[in-house]
Amino acid sequence: MQINFIDLKQQYERHKDEINQALSSVLESTAFIMGPDIAKLEQSLSLFTDSKYAMACSSGTDALLLSLMALDIKPGDEIITTPFSFMATAEVICLLGATPVFVDIDPETYNIDASLIEAKISKNTKAIIPVSLYGQCADMDEINDIAERYKLTVIEDACQSFGAEYKGRKSGNLSTIGCTSFFPSKPLGCYGDGGAIFTNDDELGPKIRMLLGHGQVERYRHRYIGINGRIDTIQAAVLNVKMKYFPDEILERHAIGKRYSELFQQANQEQIITPMIKDDRTSVYAQYSIRVKDRDAFIKHIQSLGIPTAVHYPIPMYRQEALSYLQINPNEYPVTEVVSREIVSLPMSPYLTREQQDYIVESIVNR
């Protein structure tokens, strides 16, 4: 049986005519930069998340960087975040000369443990970046409460959770700023790099808009030091097609994630820990990640049966060579230490068939 980790080909095949048509109309128009597809995309992103400002940009990483730039983050500032995420979350903090301060994760959701945040706040703390890992939001109410008490800004790294809901509201619009990514393998992906920034703040919105266009107020008049953070028109055109089908894909993701967990439960697999999704939120399952004790042997075995896997993420941030200058003691992060050794992601896409899923689960259960 042929199984892809994330089935990007299927999705293209399904909407091929429409996508080709959208791409060719960009090619014909030659409006490669800031073409009309971008305004259209931003309008639907704003509607979808119910955010006042929705700004498409060059990537999820740049979305995070622009958010910190909008807050004037500078050397000496501290930003609280999780050590269990993709490197970009901490990287952007360091790029501005600020210091990431890591807080251990919740043993059930693997998101930042909100109850441990307060102990890490100092007079230099400026912001908190919770990551909505694998497509499920962190405890945003608790985090926003702490931020309000200490006058900090919360930036949700929603790069894996676009389309997820928290207490009936959309990920990306749960704190002062939300950032997402349209990297091809994310729940809503384009055909290259792309991202978006969301806010309802009337100062930050226009400022971020300027920052992503070289800090320009108008052509050749620059108020801020910004970056080239634009999204390509071609990527916006692809996203405009995909946005139409995204609500259905979210439902398919819910169903496939739920079915994985049910099948594992029926098989009574005590050695496997399935994802825990809290009652007041949904996951878009950017990854369906389980925990196993003998990960190396597990991966070797199921890969030999033709089932691709991935590990998100094997090395916590504080163990990364690039961050060794922070001189962090891993013993401070007992939960991250265990989870990063045991976590493994299974194939996941809205198009995973029942047969494929049955085969994957049986292969694991009968191992």
Q: Are 362 and 315 in contact (CB under 8 A)?
A: no
Give the sheet arrangement for strand 153-157, strand by strand.
53-57, 195-199, 177-181, 153-157, 125-129, 78-81, 99-102
- Tell me the C-alpha distance between 184 and 212, whole Å: 21
Q: Per CB under 6 A, which region of 53-61, 198-206, 302-310, 358-366 contacts ligand PLP? A: 53-61
Return the residue of 67, 160, 171, 309 that touches ligand PLP, per CB under 6 A. 160
Q: Is 111 in the site for ligand PLP (CB under 6 A)?
A: no
CA torsion sign, 85 to 205 to 207 to 141?
A: negative
Q: Per CB under 6 A, which region of 85-93, 208-216, 250-258, 275-283 contacts ligand PLP? A: 85-93
Q: Is 67 in the site for ligand PLP (CB under 6 A)?
A: no
For the bound state, the minimum distance from the C-beta of residue 286 to ligand PLP, rounded and expressed in Å, comes to: 7
- Tell me the C-alpha distance between 36 and 26, whole Å: 9
* Closest among 65, 273, 60 to 184, alpha carbons compared: 60
Q: Is 90 in the site for ligand PLP (CB under 6 A)?
A: no
Whichever of 89 and 345 has its CB closer to ligand PLP, that residue is 89
Q: Is 153 in the site for ligand PLP (CB under 6 A)?
A: no
Return the residue of 88, 114, 231, 290 that touches ligand PLP, per CB under 6 A. 88
10-49: which residues touch ligand PLP (CB under 6 A)?
none
Q: Is 287 in the site for ligand PLP (CB under 6 A)?
A: no
Which letter does DSSP use for residue 27 in this model?
H
349: exposed, middle or buried (Cβ count in 10 Å: 0-12, 13-18, 19+): buried
How many residues form the binding site for ligand PLP (CB under 6 A)?
15
Q: Is 82 in the site for ligand PLP (CB under 6 A)?
A: no
- Is 186 part of the annotated catalytic residue set? yes
Whichever of 86 and 298 has its CB closer to ligand PLP, that residue is 86
> DSSP string of 148-202?
HHHT-EEEEE-TTTTT-EETTEETTSSSSEEEEE--TTSSS--SS--EEEEE--T
Q: Per CB under 6 A, which region of 31-39, 157-165, 262-270, 317-325 contacts ligand PLP? A: 157-165
Whichever of 153 and 287 has its CB closer to ligand PLP, that residue is 287
Q: Is 68 in the site for ligand PLP (CB under 6 A)?
A: no
Q: Give the active site residue among 126, 170, 186, 242.
A: 186
| Coil/strand/helix, residue 336 | helix
For the bound state, the minimum distance from the C-beta of residue 183 to ligand PLP, rounded and expressed in Å, comes to: 4
Which letter does DSSP use for residue 347 in this model?
P
CA distances, 78 to each of 37, 127, 296 (Å):
37, 7, 36
Q: Is 66 in the site for ligand PLP (CB under 6 A)?
A: no
For the bound state, the minimum distance from the C-beta of residue 63 to ligand PLP, rounded and expressed in Å, comes to: 8
For the bound state, the minimum distance from the C-beta of residue 202 to ligand PLP, rounded and expressed in Å, comes to: 26
Return the residue of 11, 49, 61, 345 that touches ligand PLP, per CB under 6 A. 61
Return the residue of 195, 205, 226, 275 that touches ligand PLP, per CB under 6 A. 195
Whichever of 89 and 283 has its CB closer to ligand PLP, that residue is 89
Q: Are strands 125-129 and 99-102 parallel, antiparallel or unpaired?
A: unpaired
- Tell me the C-alpha distance between 66 and 308, whole Å: 35
The strand ranges marked E within the chain are 53-57, 78-81, 99-102, 125-129, 153-157, 165-166, 169-170, 177-181, 195-199, 216-218, 221-222, 288-291, 343-346
- Tell me the C-alpha distance between 64 and 167, whole Å: 24
Whichever of 67 and 199 has its CB closer to ligand PLP, that residue is 67
Q: Is 177 in the site for ligand PLP (CB under 6 A)?
A: no
Q: Per CB under 6 A, which region of 33-41, 56-64, 220-228, 239-247 contacts ligand PLP? A: 56-64
Q: What are phi and psi of 168, to 5 degrees?
A: 80, -5
Binding site for ligand PLP (CB under 6 A): 59-61, 85-86, 88-89, 131, 157, 159-160, 181, 183, 193, 195
Q: Looking at the annotation, which residues are catalytic? A: 186
